[in-house]
Amino acid sequence: MAPPLRPMKHIDRKDLYTNLETRIQYLHSFLDFSSRDIEALISGSKYIKALIPALVNIVYHKLLQYDITARAFHTRSTSYEGPVDENLSDDSPIILHRKTFLRAYLNKLCSDPSTMEFWYYLDKVGMMHVGRGREHPLHIEYVHIGACLSFIQDTLTEALLSHPRLRMEKKVALVKALGKVIWIQNDLFAKWWYVSNPLSNKPSMLTLMIPQYLHLIDVRDGDEFADEAEAPEIEQEGYLFGKRMLEDLEEEADDLGSASACPFSGLAKGVSVVSIESGEGEKSTAIQADGKIAVTQDSA
C-alpha cells in the first residue's frame, strides 16, 4: 500500500509579498532548509571565512572585465552607457572600498541563519541594489546580480569540494546549505527588482500579436500587493534598523589606503597566497590564481 500523503500546506499568496517572515518560512520549507543546514553553516564557517579574501578579489576582478559592470562603480547604474574610466583597476580606491563591503557581507553569511535578523539583512541587500533605501541610489540590473551570485557560488563550491581536510559528507552538507542561502538571497534580489521595475510585468508586443500568449498579460509577480509591502527606510550602508550589521567595516575602513588594505591586490598580476589555520590548529594554504581558489594541506 502506498504511504499516506502528507497534508497539503496552505501558502497565503499575499503574505508572500507583504510579509518577509512568511516568505522566508515558505522558502525554508520548500528548500528543506533545516537545522542540519544551519549546523553545517556554523561548523563550516571557518572554512568559508578563510576563502573570503581571495574570493572578494576574484569577484571584483571579474566585474572589471566588462564595461557594463565596471561603469556602475562610478555611475551607480548598469543602465548608463557612457565611457568607462580606463584607469579603474583592482587597486583603485573605489574598488578597495567596495571590497570591504563584500568581505563584510560574505562574513555575515557565516553568521547565524536561524534568526530573522539574518534574513532581514539579506532582504535589505536586495533592496539597496534597486535604487531604494540609500541616500545615493544604486541601480544594478538583475541579469548582473544573478550572474554574480552564480559566480560566487561556483567559486566557493569548487574551493570547498577540493578542501584537503574536510570529509566528503561535511563538504556536501556545507555546499548544499550554502547553496540554499545563496538562492534565497537571489530570490530577495528578484523580489525587489520586480517591485522596483513595474514595466517588467507589462505585456510585450509578442503577447499582443499572438493569441496563445494573451494569457501572459494577466501574469503578475505580486505587484498588486506593492502598496501594502513594507516601505524601505533610508539607512547607512551596513546597517539594519539602526544597528550595525557588518561589524568588521570600521576595522576595514581604517586600513584603506594602507599596504595591508587588500592582501590579495596582486590578483591581476599573478598568484596570491594566504595561510589558514582552523580552530583545531590544522594548517592549510589558499592559493588564488587564474580566477580560482585552491586549498592545499600544509605539511607538518
Backbone angles phi, psi at 297, to 5 degrees: -85, 130
Going across the sheet that includes 292-297, the strands are: 272-277, 283-289, 292-297
Q: Is the four-CA dihedral 31, 32, 38, 41 of positive or negative sign?
A: negative
CA distance 109 to 49: 9
CA distance 16 to 291: 38
* Domains by residue range for the chain, with CATH: 14-200 (1.10.490.10)
Which pLDDT does position 74 carry in this prediction? 85
| pLDDT < 70: residue spans in the chain | 1, 133-135, 195-292, 294-300
CA distance 153 to 156: 5
User: Which is nearest to 235 in space by CA: 247, 222, 226, 244?
Assistant: 244
- pTM score above 0.75: no
Which pLDDT does position 86 carry in this prediction? 80
CA distance 283 to 165: 9
Count of beta carbons in the 10 Å neighbourhood of residue 28: 16
Looking at the chain, list the stretches that DSSP marks H as alpha helix, in order from N- to C-terminal side: 13-18, 20-30, 35-43, 45-63, 67-70, 72-75, 93-108, 116-128, 142-161, 168-196, 205-209, 249-255
Count of beta carbons in the 10 Å neighbourhood of residue 53: 20
Which pLDDT does position 206 carry in this prediction? 42
Which pLDDT does position 203 carry in this prediction? 45
